[in-house]
């Protein structure tokens, strides 16, 4: 026996961070991912018009980050204490730094969305009061898009850093987590925005934006698989605590979530839909929605797996 | 030969880099407040603890906690050693549960709960160096609970904020009294004092007794010491 004395009970009774945190990580990832991809394409192709994909991505980003914030606040022991996080700061804390980033990110996302949806706003009389605001702020559009791209990527990464600081859980306390969360945020964010672009903003299925998206999807997914593999391997070859955490990958409920949700639906699903079906089907809107949903569901399962399997396997 | 050279070069680099790094290191040590600060330590002697639970009750009362809740737990463990006669019941195969371990905040010198807390609610008291709570700042995010490697924090259901054992800093220590649990223990299983004072009882005790710290691998440098039951005649 290594320790002559040890305790195994705890005072917190249950897991500290339940599913709303997983949902928050999911929404923040989608928000950051969708906006980053859209702005990447905008800068890469030097677009100046408001493309359907930009509209969809910025709207998606604004809605998801707002829902994410709601989850975060509702998970506090008393939601009325929320102001305390905004008033008191501790710069050693990843969460505090995240709060600073988010309080710049959220208004900027709103601004970017406003610019992108100018035409739509014009169509609704109730929203017309926003037009003078847009006109006045037009000068800051380019710089704010650049800043928000940086912040969007930071928000994705921050969700990973936030939880990787929990040192007693080997699955969570890994250095690849931020990278994994950026990759999965990008792929699910892009998938979600793509569906919205086609469904709401009538983007053509084979427009040039969609082609670029197709081109970057697979490499990002490959990176994601690589990061998950790295995480599993580091646990498998690690110390006793890490090895016991590795069991999360092959036994218990969360192992099913991993294999069915993340691997099956998240990775194999889109691959099959794209490469194992007839060309007519894989190029249809139906296939786009189905593989988009697969990516989003896979990402949600990944967050749930990390949060629950992670906290269930402490040292 | 080459190994020697390597080593020499390594030492040289070490010397040079320490010149650069040392000032940085010093500045971060300074804020910890140096040697005139006490280092409060609690020793739990497993040989003396009977599991009566008086310490838990005293904690609940002293710190106005909701009924049945205290800042410490006593984990009951089996006292038996496989293949040996149990000293309590005389059987080789028994399930006597006769060993207790105090589960509570370990008062880490390098406390993850303090680092992680976004509002500074979980903080180190300036004068005593004790990790304690400013309940008026806590947002209830539970980050500290996940970050504490000892799972030693909890949410107080009455105040909705996080809580931890702080050696009764506000309820007893500030009045010059010993922590409530230490006062309540009739078997002297708990000893409390300043480890920086060579004449304190804890200092003397720890000089002569073997004591261990919990999960030292986390690098948190806990201030709680445990004297485990030692099996004789192995
Ligand atoms: S034991 Fe936990 S609560 Fe206590 S100081 Fe260490 S990290 Fe903080
Ligand atoms: S629950 Fe309170 S004490 Fe703990 S990290 Fe959050 S704000 Fe700090």
* Nearest Cα residue in chain B from A93: B116
For A288-307, the pLDDT digits (tens) are: 999 999 999 999 999 999 99
Q: Which ranges of chain B have pLDDT less than 70?
A: 1-35, 79-82, 86-88, 94-97, 231-234
**Chain B: nearest CA to A8, how far in angstroms?**
8
CB A67 within 8 A of CB A173: no
Tokens 């261990």, residue located: B212
* Nearest Cα residue in chain B from A84: B139
Strand (E) or helix (H) holding B108:
none
Q: Give residue B9's pLDDT.
A: 55
Question: And the tokens for A107?
Answer: 């208004």
Percentage of chain A modeled with pLDDT above 90: 92
Contacts of B133 in chain A (CB under 8 A): none
Q: In A126-257, which ranges are E strands?
A: none
Contacts of A12 in chain B (CB under 8 A): 145, 151, 153-155
Instruction: Report the sign of the C-alpha dihedral through residues A190, A192, A193, A196, in that order.
Output: positive
The total of structural domains in chain B comes to 1
The region that residue A207 occupies, defined by phi over 0 for left and psi between -120 and 50 for alpha, beta otherwise, is beta
- Strand B190-194: give its sheet, edge to edge: B190-194, B40-45, B224-227
Contact criterion met (CB < 8 Å) for A5 and B119: no
What whole-number distance in Å separates Cα of residue B201 and Cα of residue B176? 16
User: pTM for the whole thing?
Assistant: 0.88
**CATH code assigned at B168:** 3.30.70.20
Quote the ipTM score. 0.92
Q: Give residue B24's pLDDT.
A: 44
- CA-nearest residue for atom 8, ligand 2, is B117
For B156-189, the pLDDT digits (tens) are: 999 999 999 999 999 999 999 999 999 999 999 9
Q: Give residue B28's pLDDT.
A: 39
What whole-number distance in Å separates Cα of residue B61 and Cα of residue A183? 51
**Chain B: nearest CA to A68, how far in angstroms?**
14
Residue B234 lies in a domain: no
Q: Domain segments of chain A: what residues?
A: 19-312
Burial of B104 (0-12, 13-18, 19+ CB in 10 A): buried
Domain range A19-312, CATH architecture:
Up-down Bundle (1.20)
Domain hosting residue B20, numbered range:
3-227
How is chain A split among helix, strand and coil, in percent rounded to 5?
Answer: 80, 0, 20
* Cβ partners under 8 Å of residue A46, min gap 6: none
């Amino acid at each position: 026996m290594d320790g002559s004395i040890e305790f195994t009970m705890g005072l917190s009774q249950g897991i500290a961070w339940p599913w709303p945190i997983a949902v928050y990580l999911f929404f923040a990832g989608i928000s950051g991912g969708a906006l980053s991809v859209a702005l990447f394409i905008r800068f890469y192709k030097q677009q100046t018009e408001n493309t359907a994909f930009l509209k969809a991505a910025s709207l998606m980003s604004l809605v998801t980050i707002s829902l994410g914030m709601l989850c975060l606040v509702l998970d506090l022991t008393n939601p009325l204490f929320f102001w305390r996080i905004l008033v008191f700061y501790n710069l050693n804390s990843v969460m505090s730094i995240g709060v600073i980033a988010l309080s710049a990110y959220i208004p900027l996302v709103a601004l970017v969305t406003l610019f992108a949806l100018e035409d739509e706003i014009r169509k609704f009389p109730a929203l017309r009061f926003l037009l003078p605001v847009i006109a006045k702020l037009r000068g800051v559009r380019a710089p704010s898009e650049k800043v928000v791209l940086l912040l969007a990527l930071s928000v994705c990464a921050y969700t990973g850093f936030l939880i990787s600081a929990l040192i007693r859980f080997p699955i969570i306390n890994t250095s690849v987590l931020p990278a994994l969360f950026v990759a999965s945020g990008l792929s699910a964010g892009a998938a979600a925005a793509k569906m919205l672009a086609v469904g709401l903003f009538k983007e053509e299925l084979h427009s040039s934006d969609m082609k670029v998206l197709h081109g970057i999807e697979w490499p990002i997914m490959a990176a994601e698989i690589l990061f998950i593999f790295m995480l599993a391997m580091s646990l498998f070859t690690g110390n006793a605590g890490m090895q016991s955490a590795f069991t999360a990958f092959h036994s218990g409920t969360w192992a099913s979530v991993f294999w069915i949700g993340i691997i099956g639906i998240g990775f194999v699903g889109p691959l099959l839909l794209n490469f194992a079906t007839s060309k007519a089907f894989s190029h249809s809107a139906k296939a786009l929605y189905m593989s988009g949903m697969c990516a989003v569901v896979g990402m949600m399962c990944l967050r749930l797996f990390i949060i629950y399997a992670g906290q269930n396997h402490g040292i | 030969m080459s190994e020697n050279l390597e080593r020499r070069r390594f030492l040289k680099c070490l010397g040079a880099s320490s010149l650069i790094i040392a000032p940085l290191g010093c500045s971060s040590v300074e804020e910890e407040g140096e040697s005139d600060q006490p280092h409060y330590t609690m020793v739990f002697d497993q040989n003396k603890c009977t599991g009566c639970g008086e310490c838990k009750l005293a904690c609940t009362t002293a710190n106005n906690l909701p009924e049945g809740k205290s800042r410490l737990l006593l984990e009951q463990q089996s006292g038996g050693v496989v293949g040996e006669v149990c000293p309590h019941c005389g059987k080789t195969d028994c399930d006597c549960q006769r060993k207790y371990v105090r589960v509570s905040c370990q008062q880490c010198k390098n406390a993850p709960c303090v680092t992680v807390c976004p509002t500074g609610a979980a903080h180190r008291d300036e004068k005593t160096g004790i990790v304690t709570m400013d309940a008026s700042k806590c947002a209830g995010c539970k980050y500290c609970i996940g970050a504490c490697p000892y799972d030693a924090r909890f949410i107080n259901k009455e105040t909705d904020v996080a809580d931890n054992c702080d050696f009764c800093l506000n309820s007893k220590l500030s009045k010059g009294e010993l922590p409530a649990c230490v006062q309540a223990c009739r078997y002297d299983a708990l000893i409390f004092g300043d480890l920086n004072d060579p004449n304190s009882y804890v200092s003397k005790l720890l000089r002569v007794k073997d004591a261990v710290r919990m999960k030292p691998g986390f690098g948190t440098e806990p201030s709680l010491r445990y004297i485990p039951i030692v099996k004789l005649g192995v």
